[in-house]
Amino acid sequence: MSSRVCGRVLQRLQTAGSPPAASWSRIRAGSWGCCRVQTGTRSEPRRGLSGSGRSTMNVFNRDMKKRQKNWAATLQDGNQYDYLRDEVGGRVADRVYDIARTFPLALDVGAGKSHIAEHLSKDVVERLFLTDVSQETLKRRRQSEIPTQCVQADEEFLPFKENTFDLVLSSLSLHWINDLPGALRQIHQVLKPDGVFIGAMVGGETLYELRCSLQLAETEREGGFSPHVSPYTAVTDLGNLLGRAGFNMLTVDVDDVQVHYPGITEVMTDLQEMYGNEDGSIPATFEILYLIGWKPHESQAKPAKRGSATASFGDLSKINRPSPRET
């Protein structure tokens, strides 16, 4: 990227508007080293991990996040910006359907406009509680056939008793939590034994096109860069975090979604010089991390004891090998 283009990226950040809605495609993103390692740069902040010997870093002002969500909920055209939440909410619901049981009582943490419930039926979830820090957002929730009750509550402080819910859901909310390990422990606490938590959050490779472009531009001009995108959790950390919170039978998978923006703002014009498509659209990749964890119960299957195996990996080479008599 030339110095002229780098300068325009930095200068136009102040005046760029929000991009319009976008089309969808699913991809598998590779590793982008320029987003991870920079010589002589100012490192991006990371959220502290409770119990790791470090205090939790308050990266996100929760009161400010509440005001932002209240403002966004009052926008007349706000629904046209819900495409990512709608898509991921549907994929979280798909994972609920994969479990062959009915959940009498469920909780959606950071539900927003209830982007999951509209994809579920009352045959799967009989009753649902929605929580969100924004009352205005809850007022504009999507309609569903499931009996629903709304509770204004911060995701970091759940106002429910222990062993209350059969299912806890969360979609695209946990990446704004300061103390993610603490939030996972609270979710584990409000679940009944043998209850399941199914969530989705934004991962560490999200918006690598934007982050790489900004880092290169600022490094050329100033010899280092400051973070312009929120810090995210790496997929490699999630299994450990769920285990420390008390969950077992863990599942973590990644789904990369690439959004193609049809309109071109001034900032996107600069970004197009590095990542633009032949059709003129500009991609933005979102790494979505899906996590599933169960609260332990005596009825759950237990792993076999160490050393109890009756066959070794060395025996696999003998499979389908003809015996000496057959030859």
DSSP 113-165: TTTTGGG--TTTEEEEEEEES-HHHHHTPPP-SS-EEEEE--TTS----TT-E
Question: Tens digit of pLDDT for each residue in 140-196?
Answer: 898 889 999 999 998 889 999 999 999 999 999 888 888 889 999 999 999 999 999
So what's the pLDDT on residue 324?
Answer: 61
Question: Tens digit of pLDDT for each residue in 72-126?
Answer: 888 887 777 788 888 999 999 999 999 999 999 999 999 989 999 999 999 999 9
Q: What is the DSSP string of 165-206?
A: EEEEEEES-GGG-S-HHHHHHHHHHHEEEEEEEEEEEEBTTT
Helix (H, G, I), strand (E, B) or coil at 37: coil
Question: Tens digit of pLDDT for each residue in 277-299?
Answer: 677 676 777 889 999 999 998 88
Q: In terms of C-beta density within 10 A (0-12 exposed, 13-18 middle, 19 or more buried), how is residue 18 classed?
A: exposed
What number does CATH give the domain 61-203+233-259+285-295? 3.40.50.150
Cβ–Cβ < 8 Å for 297, 264: no
Cβ–Cβ < 8 Å for 66, 173: no
The pair of three-digit structure tokens given for residue 160, joined into one six-digit string: 């429910």
Element (H, E) at 307: none
Question: Tens digit of pLDDT for each residue in 98-112?
Answer: 999 999 999 999 998
pLDDT-derived band at 275 (thresholds 50, 70, 90) equals low
């909310």: which residue's tokens? 173
pTM of the model: 0.69
Please compute the mean of the pLDDT values over residues 54-70 and round it to a whole number. Answer: 75
Q: Is the pLDDT of residue 13 over 60?
A: no
The 3-state secondary structure of 260-322 reads EECCCCHHHHHHHHHHCCCCCCEEEEEEEEEEEEECCCCCCCCCCCCCCCCCCHHHHHHCCCC
- Where exactly are the structural domains of the chain? 61-203+233-259+285-295
Q: Could you tell me what percent of the chain has a pLDDT over 70?
A: 70
